[in-house]
């Protein structure tokens, strides 16, 4: 857990608003987490107007310092061509590859601690990420400056981002956000991989399994569009839409549907380019996982108690990535509707 969040938790629990304000005024380093917390307190109803004035002054001073740091003597450069832009982006993407190699190597080493029934799909999952990375590396290396033409668009790397892994304090805190205890496969995932966010390139799908550190930071946020209330299906669904889904507000859904959605843990989702539907990774009462798909034009519906596609989290994530794999035997799926049927039919 971020050191600032650790210091803030007891103060938030005791509603020590002045102590929170003082801590944010003196905290160093002033990184992205600090800036997010300052913004959150500016929107918090418990913050007084005098405290808001002090926080705005701290924020303004920080922004001025950052602007001064970024200032540099003016450069007179010719307007960049599309070729120059493509070369720059490609070089940047290739430069990031060693960092991904390190993350993958460290993740693979941690998998030896898993039970044998999870180790196989977990290693297959990491192998898929590595293969997707190799495919992306090959794609980028084909675009080296010597062969770039002025008509080629710029490119960016599309990697699945791993981690950060969770420590014991973060696991305890994220457990408290769930409506029921998270299963052992979830905790092992958080300890060994941490999170999986991104795509494998070539697919229209994106996988979002945020790490506990991200979930806890969102929970601590006071900004309405960014706050994650809990890890219930209903709250995660609202959160991934920026908390701007009035049809999912309290009291709008049928009582039985709302009760079931609030009692069901959800740790992430799969989305596609349509931006109209998500498949939520939900934990059943038996700790197996399945996808709960919701299209914005349809009824939300209660999560199924049983599903032929239910499996442990490791196998579920592997199955999702396998169908996103651009180097696999079949073309990667483009839409969520194409993903759900193979997942649910593969174990019938």
Q: For the chain, 348 residues long, give each residue's pLDDT as a single digit of tens.
A: 788 888 888 888 778 888 899 889 888 888 888 888 888 888 777 888 888 888 888 888 888 777 766 665 554 444 444 444 444 544 554 455 555 566 678 888 889 889 888 888 899 888 888 777 777 667 666 654 444 444 443 344 455 778 789 999 999 999 999 999 999 999 999 999 999 887 766 667 888 999 999 999 999 988 888 899 999 999 999 998 888 888 998 889 999 999 999 999 999 999 886 667 899 999 999 999 999 989 888 889 888 766 666 788 999 998 888 888 877 777 788 888 888 655 554 433
Q: CA gyration radius for the chain? A: 22
pLDDT, position 154: 38
> In this structure, how many other beta carbons lie within 10 angstroms of the beta carbon of residue 256?
9
Chain-centre distance for alpha carbon 227 = 14
pLDDT, position 83: 45
Chain-centre distance for alpha carbon 331 = 25
CA distance 219 to 207: 21
CA distance 43 to 18: 15
Q: Half-sphere exposure (CA, 13 Å, Cβ side) for 101?
A: 7
pLDDT, position 13: 77
CA distance 137 to 153: 17
Report how far apart, in Å, the C-alpha atoms of 188 and of each of 28, 111, 119, 343 are: 33, 9, 10, 22
Q: Half-sphere exposure (CA, 13 Å, Cβ side) for 263?
A: 12
Task: Look up residue 83 and give its two tokens.
Answer: 């070729």
Q: Half-sphere exposure (CA, 13 Å, Cβ side) for 241?
A: 21
pLDDT, position 348: 31
CA distance 47 to 28: 21
Per-position DSSP letters for 223-269, written without gaps between them: -TTT----SBHHHHHHHHTTT--GGGSTTTS-HHHHHHHHHSBEEEE
CA distance 269 to 39: 27
pLDDT, position 176: 96
CA distance 348 to 344: 7
DSSP 80: P
pLDDT, position 220: 92
Among 182, 212, 178, residue whose Cα is nearest residue 195: 212
> In this structure, how many other beta carbons lie within 10 angstroms of the beta carbon of residue 45?
5
pLDDT, position 167: 93
């Amino acid at each position: 857990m971020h050191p600032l969040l650790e210091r803030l938790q007891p103060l938030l629990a005791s509603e020590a608003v002045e102590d929170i304000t003082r801590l944010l005024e003196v905290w160093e380093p002033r990184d992205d987490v600090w800036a997010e917390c300052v913004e959150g307190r500016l929107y918090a109803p418990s913050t007084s107007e005098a405290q808001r004035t002090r926080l705005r002054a701290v924020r303004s001073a920080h922004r001025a310092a950052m602007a001064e740091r970024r200032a540099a003597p003016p450069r007179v450069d010719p307007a960049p061509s599309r070729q120059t832009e493509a070369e720059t982006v490609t070089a940047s993407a290739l430069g990031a590859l060693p960092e991904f190699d390190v993350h993958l190597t460290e993740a693979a080493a941690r998998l030896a601690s898993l039970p044998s029934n999870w180790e196989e799909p977990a290693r297959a999952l990491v192998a898929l990420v590595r293969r997707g990375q190799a495919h992306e590396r090959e794609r980028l290396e084909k675009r080296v400056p010597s062969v770039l033409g002025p008509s080629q668009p710029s490119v960016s790397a599309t990697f699945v981002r791993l981690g950060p892994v969770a420590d014991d304090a973060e696991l305890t805190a994220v457990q408290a956000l769930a409506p029921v205890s998270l299963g052992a496969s979830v905790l092992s995932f958080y300890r060994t991989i941490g999170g999986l966010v991104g795509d494998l390139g070539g697919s229209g799908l994106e996988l979002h399994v945020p790490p506990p550190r991200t979930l806890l930071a969102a929970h601590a946020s006071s900004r309405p569009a960014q706050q994650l209330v809990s890890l219930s299906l209903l709250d995660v669904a609202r959160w991934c839409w920026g908390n701007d889904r009035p049809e999912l507000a309290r009291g709008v859904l049928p009582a039985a549907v709302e009760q079931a959605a609030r009692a069901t843990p959800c740790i992430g989702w799969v989305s596609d380019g349509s931006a109209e539907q998500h498949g939520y990774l939900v934990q059943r009462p038996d700790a197996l996982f399945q996808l709960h798909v919701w299209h914005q034009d349809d009824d939300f519906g209660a999560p199924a108690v049983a599903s032929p596609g239910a499996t442990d989290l490791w196998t579920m994530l592997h199955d999702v990535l396998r169908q996103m794999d651009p180097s696999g035997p079949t073309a990667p799926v483009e839409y969520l509707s194409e993903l759900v049927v193979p997942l649910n039919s593969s174990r019938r």
